[in-house]
Amino acid sequence: RQSQSRNSEIKRIKDVHVQEFVEQEQSWRDKVEQLQNKVKELEKELSLLNIESLKKEMSLNAQSKTEYEELQARIHHLKEEHGEYIAQLEAQHREALQRQAAAL
């Protein structure tokens, strides 16, 4: 009788330990799953930020190209508009350089 009582107490203690282990195991699995979901969420957020960054970079590149083309057009226009004057200045500059070289 005492042996049977002792065996049933041992079984009860084992059952309690097994139940605690199972609950801890499930809790751990739940936490791991939550962390994996959080990692997926953060990876998705990072991906969206990278896409947004690339879009901004492409937009800035397009804007820079447009500004460069506008500046080139203005330079071309100014050269056409003041071409004769620029040619005169360049000729005067060459003459000044020649005089300077001759003076040395």
Does residue 25 have a pLDDT over 80?
yes
> Mean pLDDT, to the nearest integer, of 42-67?
91
- pTM summary value: 0.48
Closest by Cα among 25, 19, 44 to 33: 25
- What is the three-class DSSP state of 21? helix
Nearest-angstrom CA–CA distance, 59 and 63: 6
> Mean pLDDT, to the nearest integer, of 61-79?
90
Q: What percent of the chain has pLDDT over 90?
A: 55
